[in-house]
Each structure stands twice: as C-alpha cells, then as structure tokens.
Amino acid sequence: MVWPFNSNASLIRSRHAERDALIEEARKILSEQYTPNNASISTSILSSNIEDLVKGIEQKKWTSTIIVQTFIRQAIIAHEQTNCLTEVNFQQALERAEELDNEFAKNGKLVGPLHGIPFSLKDQYHLQGKRSATGYSEWLKKEPQSESAAIARIAFSLGGVCIAKTNVPQTMLNFECRNPAWGQTTNPYSSAHTCGGSSGGEAALLSIGGSAFGIGSDIGGSLRIPTSYCGIYALKTTNGRTWPRAGSIEFGPSPTPIKSVAGPMCRSVQDLDLLVRLFTKTMNPPMNEIEERAVSFRDVQRSYGMEILPYMPLQESWLDPLQAAEKRSKSGGEKTIRIGWYACDGYIKQTPVSLRSMEIVTDALRNHVDTSNNKGVNIELIELQPSELQSFDTFKTFVGLTSITRYDFLKRHLGADWIDRALWVALILPNHSFIRALIGSIARWVLRDPYPSQFLNNIANDSARKFVEHEHQRERLVKDFEKRVWNSHNLDAIVCPVQATSALPHYGSTLLAPLASATILYNVLRNPATVVPVTRVDKNLDDVKSSASVKQKWNGQKDEKKTSNMVASDLAKRFNAKDSHGLPFAVQVVTREFEDEKAVGFARLLDDALAKRDSAHRKEFGPGAWQRWNTKNDLNK
C-alpha cells in the first residue's frame, strides 16, 4: 500500500511493479524447472542446517541450483505472507548457482564452506546492481549500487549466493517494520502482529525459510527484537569485532558513540556457530596462514573493501562452554560455570509469557548435564536483582546520546514521506518542549509514573556539554556494571528476556518504545548477545484474565511497584494471550565485551538444555519450524 498524498507515490508504485515483475518472472522459471523429484526433497532442504545443505551438494544428494530454487520458492511464499522483500536478486542467484554447479562438476571441489547457500541482506547493506532505499521514498530515485557491502563480499568468497534484500522500518529507529517506500512487514505467525525491527524483513524471511541465513544490524535491539518476535537465532556482535559496516547506508554525520553493529541471523544455533567460525576466520586468519601468504591481516580485510578492524582471531574454546570450563580448571581457574539471570529488570513489568520463559530456562539449565562432555563441570545460576542492573539509567543515557542532534540526521531524508506515528515521540517531540512537559506531568501526577518525564528531558538535549555528560555517564555505567555484576558474581554469562513481551500488534510500539530498554542495556554496556527462542505464547498458560495463578505472577514480580505504570498499563492492553497464541518468545544470552564466541557457546548450551528438557523444542524452532507449525495447526483445525 502506498502512503496517501505522497508526491513520490507514482515512483513507489513503479518500484513495486519492478520488484513484483521480477518475482513473477522467477515464479514462471521455477514452475517450468521445478520437477516432482525436486519437490519431494524440498522439505528435506528447508529442514536442513547449512552444514548439511553443503554436505548434500558434496555428496551429490542435490545441487546448488536445486537449493537456490527451493529457497527462492520459499522466499516468494514468505513475501506473499509478510511483505518482507524490497530488492529481489533471484535471476542473478539462479545464474550463480548454475556457475557453482558447473565448477563443482568440472573439478569436484566446493568453492567454499557456504557453497551454494542462499543468504539475504537487510536493506541497509549494498548489493551490486540493487538500490538501498532503506524505507525512504526519496532514495528510490537513487541509482543501483555499483558494488556490494563488505559483509556480502565475504559471504560471496565463502560460496554464498545472495537472493534478496529485506524490509526495514522508517528511519530504522523503530522495532516495528513499516515505511512509505515498501509498506508494512508482518509477523510470519500472525498477520495482525509486527515482525519486529529494524531487521524485521530479515527475521520474517528467515522464519519462513526463504533464506538460509541473513545479515542484520543492531544499535538498540534492531537485530535481537525481530529475532525474538519471529522465533529464530542471531548474534548481536561487539562493536569492532569481526563484522564490518563498510558498504552499508550512512544517514549522515552523527556524534553518537553508540554504533550500529552487523550480525548474523539464522535458523539454528548450529548455523550461528558455523557462521561465526567462518566469518571470524576469514577476516582474522590464523597468524601461521598470514605468514605463509606473506600478507598482513589488514591486507586481507582491505581485499573485501572493509574498514580495518582490530585483529581478533577466533577464540574457539568457548564455543563449547563445558569443555572450556574444564580447560580453565586445569590452569587454576573456576570449573563451575556461573550464569546470572533475571526476569524483571525493575523498570519494565514482564508479560506472563516472559515470566514463564525464564522459568523454563532456569529449570532447563539447572537440570542440564552433558554426560559426554561435562567432566564434572557444574552450572550455577545466580539471580540478579533489579537494583544491580540500572536498566532505566542506561535507557536514559542511550536516549541522551542518540538524540543529541534531535535525530536530524535521520529526518533530513524524509522528503515527502509522512512520519510513522510510532516514531512521533522520537522525531517530533524533541522540537516541542511544551508537549514533552505536558506528557511528563500527566505521567507523573495522573499515572504516578516518574519515568517518562526523565527520559523525555533527555530526548532533546543538543548541547556539547550535555553530550559530554551523557558520554561520561555511559562510561560510569559500563565500569559499574563490570564491577557490580560481572566481577562481583564472577559470571560467565547472563540470560534474560529479549523484551517483556512477544510480538506486539501493529502500531503497538507507539507508546511502548521503552520496551527496547531491555536490549538497549547491552548496547550501552557494549556486550555481545545471542538470541535463543524458548517457547510460544499459550492462550491457556499466559492469559492473565482467565487464570488466577497467572494474574498472581503478573502482579508479584520483583520490584513490581517500581516498574513503569504507563508502560505496564499500555502493555496490559496490547498483550492478549488468545490473540498472540503461537507467537515465539526468546531470551538473550549476554557475555562480556569482545567475548562473542562465548555468547554463541552459551546459546548452544542453552539450546541443548531446552531440547533435553523438552524433546519437542527442536521441532518448535529451527529449520522447517514454520512449515511444521502450519501443518500442526492445519491438523488441529
């Protein structure tokens, strides 16, 4: 749907027609080439992780062309279901798959460990020959990009095949997914709910199986929130660690020290492990390889057109935390794995599905024993108190640092586009002090909520002095958290909700932007974090209105009286267990700065623990989960 009264309306319709024509062209080609034999193995392909897909090519079980055809067919279904695609690269992907097949037939060798594997890109990342409008209708006028982003070029070098780019919200400053250029993307499990944002199109596409992996980004939860909403896996990386930003959209100069980071999104924790290994080793080759090739690691990074990042080779041991703890103990370190956890952070009241998810997680971890690898390693859980987290102070600091220019670097590109109402607080209120004061006063004196006035005061401070104060506050928060939480409890990891709720209804974030404080916390603190799906909303187990025990848990959260009344009130209206039945819910696994491998390792540990607790876990999530869910629901109708 084109937004009304937009002077670029005809251009928007034209770009939609171009995209749709390419989709129809691919649909026609696939209908002619896709044989019954190919159709019979499509379920197997869509249910396989990346490593098994590549093995299938190597063992001549299937070809790159069949894999790419299968994922393109599924991408078309995903787009029909959710409106997730912006730029399609189907024809080029099919041609590349044929080249890979010819090369393999000729010499019997794979071009790389991602040989023939389809992947997708968040729209902000450039793909040669395609535009990067990123939701701005004015940018639909721009010429296609002359070269691809560094992260895409690395994937190409490993054998990957890019099939599409995916949708984002207007300005990418929202955790829904809607813009004037490409419209609204919906949740794969409910068209009435958002897929999340800003990497929302990626999450929707991957959830339905239209891509084997994707590249998203995260500055305040942009990768983690849609990953949680759509039931997939992802890694929010440490800034400056491995994943380059070169070749992505630059909105203009912004002084904020909180930078967007690229990260992988995928359908299983096994794929996450593989991607981290491959990309890290590619950009940070072992020193013996560098010496043999007589090049520096900087030369390697430059070859992909990326910015120079510090040399940080793969820390492989912590991809298996149990074995790593065993090794650590042999050198005098702690053998027990210590994991901090919390449900309510003292600022945002959690929905019943969030509380239930943390019960599942802690139960799974307490009872997890890996008999083949643990060698006496124990898992100790430490419940963190809301007062230790300082979630609201961190949220305030984030708002102060990112809004220092009143988001002018984002607004300047709007042109004729209307501002999405979910962005009014961020994009309009900074210029209206009276309205900010009025909202803050109503919240404080009518709703008895002191929080809104405090963060609204930070949303429009554009002086150098205030900026320095916010940056100083950030450094203090980082140091205090390191001392008070990581060091005091001697933690290896922290597990907590990605957000207080499952996917919101469309426009639900309008008054619920503070929900992002749960993810923002670890952007401000510079921590890497993985996302692991845990469960789904259950209309019987998570309904506050019909269950006294659920209502008691809802009203009995730690520091419940200190949480935001305004957020809790609106969230209670938005979260409906019956309407949300089946929507995924995930947790984030957080580790110390630059310990990205550890975050992936603990994600795998948790995923294994969840699967051991409930054998259905691997059917609920992972490759092919969307198809299995639909089949189950069809049978239950």
Find, among 172, 169, 12, 224, the residue nearest to 507 by Cα: 169
Please state the φ and ψ torsions of residue 121, each to the nearest 5 degrees: -125, 135
Closest to 388 (Cα-Cα) out of 483, 485, 475? 485
Among 164, 87, 169, 165, smallest CA distance to 136 is for 169
561 catalytic per annotation: no
What values do phi and psi take at 227, rounded to 5? -60, -45
Catalytic one of 222, 248, 391, 502: 222
Cα gap 584→621, rounded to integer Å: 9
Tell me, yes or no, if 122 is annotated catalytic: yes
Classified as helix, coil or strand, 522 is helix
Q: Which residues contact 259 (CB under 8 A, 6 or more apart)?
A: 219, 239, 245
The reply to whether 502 belongs to the active site is no
Dihedral angle, C-alpha 136, 152, 518, 466, nearest 10 °: -60
Instruction: Let me know: does 18 contact 85? Beta carbons within 8 Å.
Output: no
Specify the length of the chain in residues. Answer: 637
Chain centroid, CA 351 distance in Å:
21
d(CA 566, CA 622): 36
Instruction: Please answer whether residues 200 and 185 qualify as being in contact, where contact means their C-beta atoms are separated by less than 8 angstroms.
Output: yes
- With the C-alpha atoms ordered 119, 271, 603, 526, is the resulting torsion angle positive or negative? negative
Q: Pick from 213, 206, 322: which is nearest to 609 by CA?
A: 322
- Give just the sign of the alpha carbon dihedral 555, 559, 565, 568: negative
Which residues have CB under 8 Å from 157's CB, separation 6+?
112, 282, 304
Question: Does residue 213 contact residue 265 with C-beta atoms inside 8 Å?
Answer: yes
Q: Which are the contacts of 169, defined by CB distance < 8 A and separation ≥ 6?
A: 135, 175, 176, 177, 178, 179, 197, 198, 200, 420, 422
Which of the following is catalytic: 42, 137, 190, 198? Answer: 198
Whose CA is closest to 515, among 401, 352, 391? 391
Q: Which of 42, 64, 120, 122 is catalytic?
A: 122
Question: Residue 512: which of 632, 626, 421, 589 has the closest Cα?
Answer: 421
Cβ-contact 282, 154 below 8 angstroms: yes
In the chain, the amino acid numbered 542 is D
User: Which two tokens mark 467?
Assistant: 């900026």
CA distances from 164 to 49, 64, 123, 420 (A): 19, 17, 9, 25
What positions carry a catalytic annotation? 122, 198, 222
